[in-house]
Structure 1
């Protein structure tokens, strides 16, 4: 247990969430040097642990790493915002300046690694409770200094679990069906209320259209084969049990693209 100067009952309880042991220890030492805050034990080493500890320990503030295996910080924050009384969240990040601007705009606290004592103290004082508006801001396209849109790093979807954030690197494909779009990802699928065209415009080179109603992630493309009936099927990495139909009008372009993958 790390020693703290906050010995009173009014101390704010802080849960630290980071998959790196040294990062957890450093944050705990720093929090222990700030009056009015107490580090909770145990600390969380991943997103799933964080959710369980928040439910059990009821922290006032969560210092939340963004880059973690499994559930990342943004996904954890999305789950936390569905609680009746969510803790305040401060993201710990090594993100670039545009991501930091997003955190500032959304009024969610952030710290840049390596964390400094003065920055931590200020962030703890300014920490605010996450809400749907703040999380929506994090998953909107950003703009750089020239006003050009920057693609999101996560796709948000409203499900029975609440708001789910799917990292773009876990996405396999988008499939349109009537008014909704199905997003298939490594962990399953969700429904989106946004058109394929807007997704194609936003993510540009990362997506490839294989059908009028289907976009696939370029980096997931593995192989294309023709069936005995003359239909073209595309196999994606991470979708071993299934394949996707490619329309004839997109076959030539897809073949050309695959020569350079």
Structure 2
């Protein structure tokens, strides 16, 4: 079975690799030092099992596991961490194991064997959306031509809903996702502001608000010629926000 190791500390990656060297049935095919690398390598190499640290800079292991769960055939994830308090969140991501550092060979072997024989509940979980934790994601995950694409949230200009899809306009272009705008508003309340029933704009992208030729209002975005309509019910809130800048 193909194994990928994800940990931001080289000694931790090396220790797991050394433990796996004595297990002939497992092959380490990749190592990553953060969540973003983990998602990209998981798509490219399609490992059977990922040994994942939780606390890592940038995208942590919990968020990476949620994105990986969106793959057509996601690998089994075993979290390897020094922090026991993350156990509940870990299993919300459909992880099949949870090991505390320092990892003992016997416990690792046991967890790998369990991951290699997923039970009915685990198989069913692969086809369910992962539960979101209270923490806002650092990246938005979109499926583009069959692959998962990660968009840093701080590069997003706005979210705009159109029927069942939401357009994510970002520095590199735009993608479509299938997430409710209301859920995005709740998750990113600190960094995005609703300007219309169908649009959330990044607070960092606001440049101003102007009247258009029809007498309505439009938001002016920094570094862009785009103008987004502001509904009448949100004009006062947008004006208050702009005055606070």
TM-score bracket for the superposition, by shorter chain length: 0.5 to 0.7
Aligned CA-pair RMSD: 4.4
Structure 2 residue 235 is matched with structure 1 residue 247: no
1:40 maps to which residue?
28
Superposed displacement of residue 170, structure 1: 5.3
In structure 2, which of residues 146, 161, 182 is the aligned counterpart of residue 176 of structure 1? Answer: 161
> Quick one: distance in 1 between partners of 2:199 and 2:236?
16
> Quick one: distance in 2 between partners of 1:200 and 1:95?
30
> Quick one: distance in 2 between partners of 1:189 and 1:24?
35
Give ranges in structure 2 of 5+ residues lacking alignment.
none
2:64 maps to which residue?
73
> Quick one: distance in 1 between partners of 2:237 and 2:189?
15
1:15·1:62 contact (CA, 8 Å) conserved in 2? yes
1:28 maps to which residue?
17
Change in CA separation of 1:105 and 1:227 when aligned onto 2, cut-off 3 Å: closer
Q: Aligned runs of 1:210-249 on 2, under 5 Å?
A: 210-218=195-203, 220-226=204-210, 231-235=217-221, 240-247=223-230, 249=232
Change in CA separation of 1:255 and 1:108 when aligned onto 2, cut-off 3 Å: same
Change in CA separation of 1:166 and 1:74 when aligned onto 2, cut-off 3 Å: farther
Change in CA separation of 1:38 and 1:194 when aligned onto 2, cut-off 3 Å: closer
Normalising by structure 2, report the TM-score.
Answer: 0.64
Normalising by structure 1, report the TM-score.
Answer: 0.61
Structure 2 residue 103 is matched with structure 1 residue 116: yes
2:84·2:100 contact (CA, 8 Å) conserved in 1? no
* Number of matched pairs: 229
